[in-house]
Chain A
Amino acid sequence: MSQLKELTLQGLWKNNPGLVQLLGLCPLLAVTSTITNALGLGLATLLVLLGSNVAVSLVRNHIANEIRIPVFVLIIASLVTVVQLMMNAYTFGLYESLGIFIPLIVTNCAIIGRAEAFASKNAVLPSALDAIMMGLGFLLVLLILGGMREILGQGTLFDGADLLFGSWAKGLRIELFTVDSHFLLAMLPPGAFIGMGLLIALKNVIDNRIKQQNAIEKGSIARARVTGAAQ
């Protein structure tokens, strides 16, 4: 149970692939122009990550150390191709709008990073949990960034959700405000970089707050002594 808690904390916050490990930035920055694209790519990445962690964990004792990396790459590339074929078959519109970024999941270092750092050393269940939490962490960052950019850029949320979920999802589209000309900076890649920077800064601020809070709670004696020594 404590392992689950630890893995959750690591994936979603302490070691978030988007905000802390800064892995997979290329798709993260490129496709987050709308929350729908972000959700599509996030789910695809989560699926690949889960599959690759489970597969790597299953074969970890049968594969010699020297060839582990090529084997991981093979596994990941195959999984990505499977996901790509599935998306092409079942979510054609989204497949078209994510374009090159689906095959590029192969090069998302977060995936091979988790295979090497976690799945190759742990049993199947914890590896699967690690994949889910890391994938969720990545998905959350994508969603926040996608939401921010979509609201600022075109004043909507879930624009084009029908590409992902089918025609019923047209109703999900929320028009927050209408603008004659969009706020371009938010929609173009520089906006993604700036938004990403702000998110990382925000996380660091929260981390620092927590650290200070903890220091205060640990007792004022230690603090008093430090102040005293300084005088």
Chain B
Amino acid sequence: MIRVVSKNALALGAVAIFCVAVLSVVNQLTAPRISEQKLANKMAILAEVLPGVEINQALLHDCVMVTDEELLGRSEAQTMYRWRKDNELAAYVIAATAPAGYSGNIDLIVAIDPNGTVLGTRVLSHQETPGLGDKIESRRSPWIHSFSGKSVTEDNAQQWAVRKDGGNFDQFTGATITPRAVVNAVRNAVLFVQQHPELATLTANCPTE
């Protein structure tokens, strides 16, 4: 009895060791390619929100971690890149979260110039209803482009809302909650940049991957 059991245990262990070995090899082989893909993906997104800017390593390294649950929507730190043109700070690219989506968080990336004008924004991930709320994706609708060039001032705070709430941004037929959440998140990201002029001088502190 005990012999059969130990023999089986050994066999199971051997199979497990073999599987782990195979997985380690595959992991080793694919790891560089996977991090390359992640980087390419990140750079493609940065290129979309910073039109006409050459995305390089310098931009990726000039990055600080910022936390502001009220304005950026997450209790944990989010990344913010600083784009400098001729050594002059030209834009912040900040990750923001809209916590009030129709089904959970909507993760955004927003490029904002130091005066608080939005240069571009994109949705990184969301679980909104396909066909209704997913018009916030740039490949489904140009709606997300309507933020470009807008800035937040004391006078126009009212206009940062969907039309139904008296603002300047279209809502979608059948989906008001999603665009409302995105509009609020983008506005809050701009407010965050405006309220923190010290962001420009912080030392880069993002963990390197």
Contacts and interface: CB of A to CB of B under 8 A. Distances in A.
Interface of A: 33, 59, 62-64, 66-67, 70-71, 74-75, 77-78, 81-82, 85-86, 88-90, 92, 153-154, 180-184, 187-188
Contact of A88 (B8, B11, B34, B131): B34
26 contacts: A33-B130, A63-B15, A64-B4, A64-B8, A67-B11, A67-B12, A71-B15, A75-B15, A78-B22, A81-B26, A82-B22, A82-B23, A82-B26, A85-B26, A85-B30, A88-B30, A88-B37, A89-B37, A153-B130, A153-B131, A180-B173, A181-B131, A181-B173, A183-B131, A184-B130, A188-B129
Contacts of B37: 88-89, 92
A38 to B, nearest CB: 14
B207 interface: no
Given A78-B19, A88-B37, A92-B41, A70 B30 contact: no
B7 interface: yes
Contacts of A59: 15
A89 B131 contact: no
Contact of A182 (B12, B27, B131): B131
Interface of B: 4, 7-8, 11-12, 15-16, 19, 22-23, 26-27, 30, 33-34, 37-38, 40-41, 129-132, 173-174
Task: Determine which residue in B8, B11, B19, B40 has the highest number of CB atoms from chain A within 10 A of its CB, and name it.
Answer: B19
Given A70-B12, A78-B23, A81-B26, 18 more contacts: A59-B15, A62-B11, A64-B7, A74-B15, A78-B22, A81-B23, A82-B22, A82-B26, A85-B26, A89-B30, A90-B33, A153-B130, A180-B173, A181-B131, A181-B174, A183-B131, A184-B131, A187-B130
A144 B132 CA distance: 24
Query: What secondary structure prevails in chain A residues at the interface with B?
Result: helix
Nearest to B12: A67
B34 A85 contact: yes
Contacts of A89: 30, 33-34, 37
